[in-house]
Amino acid sequence: MTGTLLFEAIVFLAGALICVSIAKRLGLSSVIGYLIAGVIIGPYVLGLIGEEGDDILHFAEFGVVVMLFLIGLEIEPKSFWNMRKSILGMGGIQVTATLVLTYLLFTILGYEWQVALVIAMAVSLSSTAIALQTIKEKGLMETTFGISSFSILLFQDIIVIVMLGALPLLSSQDPSNVSSNGHEATLIENLPIGLQTLAILASVVVIVLVGRYLIVPILRKVSKTGVRELLIAAAFLIVFSISYLMEFVGLSPALGAFLGGVVLSTSEFKHELESTLEPFKNLLLGLFFMAVGASINFIVIAESPFTIGGLLVLIITLKAAVLYITGRVFKLKLDQKLLLTLSLAQVGEFAFVLLSFAFQLEILAPEQMDVMLVITALSMSLTPILSLINERVILPKVGTKESIKRPMDHIAKSQKVILVGFGHFGSTVGRFMRSHGVEATILDIDSNRVDFLRKMGFEVYYGDATRQDLLESAGIAQAKMLICAIDNPAVNKEVALLVKEKYPHVELLVRAKNRYEAYELLNLGIENIYRETLDTSLSLASDALHKLGFRKYTLNRQVQNFITYDVESLKRLAKEPKRDENYIFKARQELEQQEKLLERDFKRGIVTYDKHWDGEHIRKSLEQND
Amino acid sequence: MKKTLVLFAHPRFEDSRANATLIDRLFSKSHITLHDLYETYPDFHINVRKEQKLLEEHDIIIWHHPLYWYSSPAILKQWMDMVLEFNWAYGPEGNMLQGKTVFNVITTGGSREVYCSQGYNSYTINEFLRPFEQTANLCGMHYLPPFAVMGTHKLSEEQLLDYANQYENLIDLLKGDFDATGLSNCFFLNDLELIKNPNS
């Protein structure tokens, strides 16, 4: 039933499409959809996918690598450094406590100490893929719970290296004989401990240096070619290279990818890379979840349903208890503690690696491995269901849900503004807003300018704002406002229109070159239009009149009057039907409109002075009455 | 020689006959700083430090303005709100204006007769100017009765020139080593013989 690669692709894609859309329709996490799809197409239900599920699982783990790279992109080195306490503290407590308790539990259950230890290691690790995907999907990454989960998962990513290194010590077998596709002997394991540490540090340094001094310049060159697919190629090249380097040295590729992401998070290509990799990541992760679903061995379950059920409940309860206590130690609020407890209580994908390696080392018996693999897959599948119960049943009763947006914190932080175009016009807008503590997310297409401005401390990103995916990764979904300040009117209009159509919740403020551009924007239904020539020319005219002897305050008032009058006539004239789009006709039409404006001015006469504070006017009317 | 600061506030000076005549004399005098608030701050964006420095440099302060709705034009209120800061003009450490002399020079369209308990404006000019008087008191300044040019709508050119001369007399008198406290005992400074006919 296995057929060709094409057939497999069709099975996976169709399974994903059907199950994920149903899950989403029911308001469930897409992770559940993927898992169920995996179970259905897997060997025990429809049997469309057989033993190759394991290979696919291995391949799909790359989705986790890409995800960690993307998460790294969102964490700047400074905030990463700020997280060190919670990574070491929370991660350390969680892993150590789970390890010790699980070890005790399995020793009591009568397992050999080596077996108990291997199982304890596997159990202490959670699933980065499931937990983070669920957290990101719900937009909880910025909450205390999100950060705590992430810290713990990151610590696990680091500690898994130590665990893999320690496994051969538990085996009576000579580790050098072991080589398999599950876990190959790597560079680092043959080194003494001191050198191992050095090798780890060296690879981190390599990633940082290569990221800063090789990748960023290359990306700049690539961006100048203007060929979009080259950037996709470059993005994958980066992730593949990092993974390769990490596997070569013997570190977790996910960890390496995360570091690479952190290094590139301060570069101007952050958003471009994000929007490029995001769809691939989601598909790969989907594949990963489906492979997990397909790997649930229902025959093993059928053989000893009570053992497996019992162990599953015990393990999840134990992990949950440890997580709850960890949350308590770090003084999380109740709702955050509950979220943390349930979202990390599963046995993660690292267990697959650890268990199969231990099996090769002959620490685990085949039955023991099968049982543990089933428990791992089941616990991962249960996570979204447990989170759902927590969310729908428990949390509403707790009722201290931390709101993600804290508007009183700081206006600048909670109200997202996107500024598109950072030329002479946009930069003035950006500078003025920045001087009020409002840091706009800036998009610009000129990579030289982007680079220069970044050195000046602005948060500027490179990219073409007419692309919806770039706007997405710039965070338009959460944005309150978007300012279009692009020099090229056609591009400016395109962006404005795109935002107006796709993101009606975003307040749109648009620059217009002149009144004719303003007409077009008005006709597109855009309300906040700023003609770059209006205020400046009036300010010049006002100064000119002042130098001829007019009083400043009166001029000031008349400038305001004129703007009101001109905006009115702009709106009126914009409504007149266009005769032709032809350039010649357009020019002629502009002349006609100029003529109309002047005619109207003439009818308005020399500024119709109001009578405010005009003593002479009162005196004259009093004289007439006398 | 004492220095005088005239804080002049007229939103439509270009059309004010009375104030044009009154102000005209002041331009040539070296001990007088004529400060045109509406011309300096057409957008009401008052430079507080600059204004405070000006105040520090002068001994006699004049609030020169038409009386609109029984008070000053808006910019003078804005000026007071912004410039007379806590712990600068008033408050435990606010003593920068201590001992300076201050008064209003006002022009009104209505005549003197309508500004009394029997007139249609019910109160006297001095009563309407209480906020200025108390502001001066709080800042430790010596407040004098106003110099008032009233019924401007019906004043002839000659009458206006008379007022301009009296204004000039007053300002010249104050620059010398003159004890201004003696001037407090009147309704309007321009009622005093000393100002009306300095030579007599």
**Which two tokens mark A494?**
């395109």
Determine the residue of chain A that is closest to B42 in CA distance: A553
Q: Return the closest-CA partner of residue B111 out of A45, A619, A575.
A: A619
Neighbours of A330 (CB within 10 A): 18
Binning pLDDT at 50, 70 and 90, where does residue A473 land?
Answer: confident
Query: What stretches of A305-417 show up as alpha helix (H) in DSSP?
Result: 305-329, 334-343, 350-360, 366-389, 395-398, 411-414
Instruction: Out of B38, B66, B154, name the one closest to residue A553 (CB).
Output: B38
Distance from CA of B198 to the nearest CA of A (A): 31
Banded pLDDT at A177 (limits 50, 70, 90)? very low
Rounded to an integer, the average pLDDT of A599-605 is 70
Provide mean pLDDT across the span A45-69: 74
Q: Cβ contacts (< 8 Å) between B152 and chain A: which residues?
A: 615, 619
pLDDT in the model for residue A400: 47
What's the rounded Cα separation, in Å, for the pair B29 and B27? 6
Query: Considering only A122-136, B6-20, B91-105, B113-127, which range has the smallest mean pLDDT?
Result: A122-136
Residues 6+ apart with CB under 8 A from A151: A83, A86, A87, A90, A91
Instruction: Find out whether A130 and A351 touch, Cβ atoms under 8 Å.
Output: no
Q: Is A538 exposed, middle or buried (0-12, 13-18, 19+ CB in 10 A)?
A: middle
Q: Among residues B138, B100, B143, B145, which one has the least CA distance to residue B124?
A: B145
pLDDT score recorded for residue B167? 94
Residue-averaged pLDDT of chain A: 80
Nearest to A615 among B38, B40, B152 (CB): B152
Q: What three-state secondary structure class fits A421?
A: coil
Asked whether the beta carbons of residue A554 and residue B14 sit closer than 8 angstroms, the reply is: yes
Task: Give the pLDDT score at A178.
Answer: 45
Point out which residues pair with B90 in neighbouring strands.
Answer: B86
Domain segments of chain A as ranges: 5-398, 411-532
Inform me whether the pLDDT recorded for B52 exceeds 90. Answer: yes
Q: Is the pLDDT of residue A408 over 50?
A: no
Whether B110 has its CB under 8 Å from any CB of chain A: the answer is no
> What backbone torsions phi and psi does residue A399 show, to the nearest 5 degrees?
70, 25
- What mean pLDDT do residues A266-272 have? 79
- Do A462 and A450 meet the contact criterion of CB atoms below 8 Å apart? yes
Is the Cβ–Cβ distance between B81 and B123 less than 8 Å? no
Are the beta carbons of A231 and A223 closer than 8 angstroms?
yes
- Is the pLDDT assigned to residue A407 strictly greater than 50? no
pLDDT at A451: 73
In this structure, are residues B64 and B8 in contact, taking their beta carbons and an 8 Å threshold?
yes
Kindly give, in sequence order, each residue whose CB lies less than 8 Å from that of residue A266, ignoring residues fewer than 6 positions away: A76, A77, A454
Question: Residue A401 has what pLDDT?
Answer: 44
Tell if the CB–CB gap between B109 and A615 is shorter than 8 Å. Answer: yes
| A positions 524-553 inside 8 Å of B (CB) | 550-553
- Note the pLDDT tens digit of each residue in A73-98: 877 777 778 888 888 889 999 999 99
- Beta-ladder partners of B4: B32, B60
Assigned fold of A411-532 = Rossmann fold (3.40.50)
Contact B42 A617 (CB under 8 A): no
A504-526 mean pLDDT: 89
Residues A277, A279, A281, A283, CA torsion sign = negative
| Angstrom distance (rounded) from CA A617 to CA A287 | 83
| pLDDT (0 to 100) of residue B56 | 96
Comparing CA positions, the residue from B28, B51, B56 lying closest to residue B41 is B51
CA–CA gap between residue A503 and residue A494 (Å, rounded): 14
Tokens of B49: 């430090």
* Whether residue B54 has pLDDT greater than 90: yes
Higher pLDDT: A618 or A413? It is A618
Nearest residue of chain A to residue B68 (CA atoms): A613
What is the per-residue pLDDT for B22? 93
The CA distance from A341 to A335, in Å, is 10
pLDDT, residue A181, reads 41
Cβ atoms of A238 and A72 closer than 8 Å: no
Strand partners, A533: none
CATH number, domain at B70? 3.40.50.360
Please check the confidence at residue A338 and state whether its pLDDT lies above 60.
Answer: yes
Interchain CB contact of A572 with B (< 8 Å) = no
How many domains would you assign to chain B?
A: 1
Task: Tell me the pTM.
Answer: 0.53
pLDDT at residue number B49: 92
Question: What is the average per-residue pLDDT within B178-189?
Answer: 82
Average pLDDT over residues B110-126: 89
Per-residue pLDDT tens for A475-498? Answer: 888 889 999 999 888 888 999 999
CA angle B58, B59, B62 (to 5 degrees): 85
Nearest to B64 by CA among B139, B13, B115, B14: B13
Contacts of B11 in chain A (CB under 8 A): 553-554, 612-613
Joined tokens for residue A569? 């006539």
Look at residues A471, A473, A478 and name the one whose alpha carbon lies nearest to residue A496.
A471
Cβ of A613 within 8 Å of Cβ of B42? The answer is no
- The rounded percent of chain B whose pLDDT value lies above 90 is 68
**Amino acid at position A446, single letter:** D
CATH among 1.20.1530.20, 3.40.50.720, 1.10.274.10, 3.40.50.410 for A5-398: 1.20.1530.20
How far off is chain A from B139, nearest CA to CA, in Å? 29
Handedness of CA A229, A230, A232, A237 (dihedral sign): positive
- Partner B contacted by A424 (CB < 8 A): no
Give the span between the Cα atoms of B55 and B76, in whole angstroms: 14
Chain A residues 584-623 within an 8 A CB cutoff of chain B: 612-619, 622-623
Digit-coded pLDDT (tens) for A127-139:
888 888 778 777 6
Torsion, Cα A26 A30 A31 A36, to 10 degrees, reads 60
Contacts of B43 in chain A (CB under 8 A): 556
Q: Does the pLDDT at position B5 exceed 90?
A: yes
| Nearest Cα to Cα of residue B161 among B13, B22, B34 | B22
Contact B110, B155 (CB under 8 A): no
Query: Which residue is closest to A556 within chain B, CA to CA?
Result: B42
CB A34 within 8 A of CB A286: yes
Range of the domain at B22: 4-196
**Interface contact B42, partner A, CB < 8 A:** yes
